[in-house]
């Protein structure tokens, strides 16, 4: 009888401990909705020989000729970000970083950049990175951190190409959803 009680007690303790460990790994139900959500527009004007004053990005490497999809091209940018589609609107942030084309058989780029906010509405940064599968209608990139109003934020940025005028100009709608807000 004592042996059965010890076995039962041991089994009970193992079950309680395993449930504690399992429940620590479950995602919080409060994370199903973003704590912050806003939409911004990213404007990019590629440098050409006749637009030094207006250019906000420049290719620092040329594609090495491995396919027809700019594979290997690296672009550095300091692009204005607005709350509406109008490039002439007052920027609420700057997107500063780079992207490179990383697929030989279709258009695809990998982005890494920081949104630098310095407006009356927000101060601080959001760090964003991930693959931009350009042929998809929407693409999700990761928010991997932030500072100021966005201290240690994490979330998702959904890209949607809003306007594309060849290599000269493009505008991307960024739907930013933050799930960790401090």
The domain limits of the chain are 45-180
Please list the residues that pair with 130 across neighbouring strands.
111
pLDDT digits (tens, 9 = 90+) for 87-100: 999 999 999 999 99
What average pLDDT score do residues 3-30 get? 42
pLDDT at 160 over 70: yes
Closest CA to 130 of 160, 156, 91: 156
- Give me the pLDDT at residue 5, please: 41
- For residue range 118-156, what is the model confidence (pLDDT) as tens digits? 888 899 999 999 999 988 999 999 999 999 999 999 999
Give the mean model confidence (pLDDT) for residues 50-57: 81
Strands 36-45 and 93-101, sheet pairing: unpaired
Question: Minimal CA–CA distance to 164: which of 42, 76, 81, 80?
Answer: 42
Tell me the C-alpha distance between 61 and 75, whole Å. Answer: 7
The pTM for the full model equals 0.78
Question: How confident is the model over 59-90, as pLDDT tens digits?
Answer: 898 878 887 888 889 999 999 999 999 999 99
**Cα(29)–Cα(179) distance, integer angstroms:** 11
pLDDT at 49: 62
Residue 174 has pLDDT above 80, yes or no: yes
- Tokens 């204005």 belong to 80
Q: Measure the CA–CA gap between 56 and 98, rounded to whole angstroms.
A: 12
């Amino acid at each position: 009888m004592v042996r059965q009680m010890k076995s039962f007690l041991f089994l009970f303790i193992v079950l309680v401990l395993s449930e504690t460990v399992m429940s620590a790994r479950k995602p919080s139900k409060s994370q199903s909705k973003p704590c912050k959500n806003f939409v911004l527009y990213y404007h990019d004007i590629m440098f050409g020989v006749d637009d030094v004053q207006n250019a906000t990005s420049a290719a620092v490497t040329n594609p090495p000729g491995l396919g027809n999809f700019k594979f290997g091209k690296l672009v550095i940018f300091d692009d204005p970000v607005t709350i509406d589609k109008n490039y002439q609107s007052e920027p609420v942030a700057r997107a500063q970083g780079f992207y490179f084309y990383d697929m030989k058989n279709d258009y695809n780029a990998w982005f890494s950049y920081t949104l630098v906010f310095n407006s009356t509405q927000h101060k601080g940064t959001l760090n964003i990175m991930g693959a931009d599968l350009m042929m998809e209608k929407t693409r999700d990139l990761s928010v991997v951190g932030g500072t100021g109003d966005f201290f240690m934020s994490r979330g998702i940025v959904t890209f949607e190409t809003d306007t594309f005028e060849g290599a000269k100009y493009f505008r991307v709608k960024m739907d930013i959803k933050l799930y960790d807000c401090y």
